[in-house]
Homo-oligomer: A and B are copies of this chain.
Amino acid sequence: MTVGDVTTEGQQTVPGCSPRPTVESFSRVRELTDLLASRLSAEDQIPQSMTAASPAAWHRAHTTWFFEEFVLGRLPGYSSPEPVFRFLFNSYYEAVGPRQPRPQRGLITRPSVAEIGDFRARVDEAVVAALEAGRVDERGLELLELGCHHEQQHQELMLMDAKHLFSHNPTDPVYVHRSADPVAAAPGETDWLVVVEGVAQVGAPDPADGSGLSPDGSSSGGFSYDNERPRHRVWIPGGEVSTRQVTVADWKEFMADGGYTRPELWLSDGWAAVQAEGWDAPGYWRREDGAAGNASAGTAGAPASDGEWTTFTLSGRRPVVDAEPVCHVSFYEADAYARWSGARLPTEFEWEVASAGWEIRDELDPDRCHPQPVTDRTIGGVWEWTASAYLPYPGFVTEEGAAGEYNGKFMSDQHVLRGGSALTPAGHTRPTYRNFFPASSRWAATGLRLAR
């Protein structure tokens, strides 16, 4: 591959939801949410295990509110029969009005989980009826499309949040029962893909290019968020990007070499986080001490030997697996690992250029919900931290109205992750997608690959 003919061929679309959702594609998105939630009891759907997380019941209601607010709300004469939901289930849209304080989402026990189900059904019916009657105007269709992608993002969040919640329960609750995988060998040394110095086009094309081709010849047609646009030129310095993600086996070497105890490997804020948080391994890892006391009395899954590292998964606690990508590491840890290995993290644009032709793998399988072993020249399984700060692209324009708050107002003090994870619904993992989290965050399924 040479720089200059970077394309977005690999960019997939949510089947049917883009460019314009249909009754069928809309319903399919909504049904997946219900399927994912069906494995959570009413009790499981209530707690908010930290401010950054949200209750599953709230995710189900908030995504529904999004359609009511932005799609149904545009229909002439529409008014919500439950106006308090505008307050309860608005996430952060200042233009919509005041809302339930974010740290108090876990205190909403009424409407009940069943009533939230009724709310979903009512809004679904109204959206379908409006679609079938052709009453949704062009902007409404755009917002309906956005709403479908929004709901898919919340599907991933709902799983992340369930995992975070369950991890605080010493009974190691199981979200989905799954038998052990066949043992896979950890991949060996990585290959490095040469990224040639020069100007590259990055970002997603304008969705308004109905032809499916952007002016510069790249493929279009797929959905993109505003933060992926406009497509624009960047200068890529020459470099190499690893063709595979960092594995659990790799990470164990870093740990064995004192990775968590050597300040010279860390950014200053990262070293402060190591000390403040007591990090000595990735998130959800625990070293078993043989004489497991009360705290692990209920541990599910395979038994772990003394001194062995286990990790908490959506199928319970089990030993870590060498061949899997390392997961639940913060940006600080990813950066320290890269420094330790004599390499660095790729920028988001190197990543985009390098990965453009790679296969997308390991998107959300509701019966697995855990990354598969690393394979070469693929993306997916874990989100990958990049060296890039989350900033607007040149020419970025905030949309009018409340929808303009979707992405733009978060463009400071966060870091870009690229790819997708084993919790990312099919169609979202694409070369231009920009995920973002604060540098200390470990609750998403976050890993890394190296560059040099």
Interface residues of A (CB under 8 A from B): 41-47, 49, 57, 83-84, 86-88, 92, 94-95, 97-100, 104, 106-113, 165, 168-171, 173, 199, 232-235, 237, 239, 263-264, 266-271, 293-295, 297-298, 331-332, 335, 387-389, 391-392, 394-395, 405, 409-413, 415, 439
Contacts and interface: CB of A to CB of B under 8 A. Distances in A.
Contact of A199 (B92, B95, B235): B235
Contact of A268 (B43, B173, B266, B410): B410
A394 B346 CA distance: 10
A41 B43 CA distance: 9
A217 to B, nearest CB: 19
A199 B236 CA distance: 11
Contact of A107 (B83, B165, B233): B165
A415 B391 CA distance: 11
B412 A109 contact: no
A169 B412 contact: no
Given A43-B43, A234-B235, 10 more contacts: A97-B294, A109-B165, A111-B171, A237-B394, A239-B394, A267-B409, A267-B411, A267-B412, A269-B410, A269-B412
Given A84-B297, A294-B87, A439-B412, A169 B46 contact: no
A234 B233 CA distance: 10
A155 to B, nearest CB: 20
Contacts of A411: 267
> What is the interface of chain A mostly: helix, strand, loop, or mixed?
loop
A294 B394 contact: no
Nearest to A412: B267
A98 B409 contact: no
A169 B107 contact: yes
Contacts of A232: 237
Nearest to A41: B112
26 contacts: A41-B109, A41-B112, A42-B42, A44-B110, A46-B109, A47-B107, A83-B294, A87-B170, A87-B294, A92-B268, A94-B271, A97-B294, A98-B293, A100-B170, A107-B169, A110-B169, A111-B171, A199-B199, A199-B235, A235-B235, A264-B405, A266-B409, A267-B410, A269-B412, A332-B412, A389-B389
B439 A413 contact: yes
In this complex, which of A83, A98, A269 has the most chain B Cβ atoms within 10 angstroms of its Cβ?
A269
Contacts of A95: 264
A294 B98 contact: yes
A298 to B, nearest CB: 4
Contacts of A293: 97-98
A87 to B, nearest CB: 4
Contacts of A332: 412
Given A107-B165, A267-B411, A298 B46 contact: no
A350 to B, nearest CB: 9
A294 B111 CA distance: 16
A84 B263 contact: no
A263 B43 contact: no
Given A43-B57, A294-B98, A389 B387 contact: no
A95 B266 CA distance: 12
Contacts of A86: 294, 297
A397 B335 CA distance: 14
Nearest to A408: B267
B110 A297 contact: no
A69 to B, nearest CB: 13
A119 to B, nearest CB: 13
A348 B183 CA distance: 50
Nearest to A197: B233
Given A237-B233, A294-B97, A47 B109 contact: yes
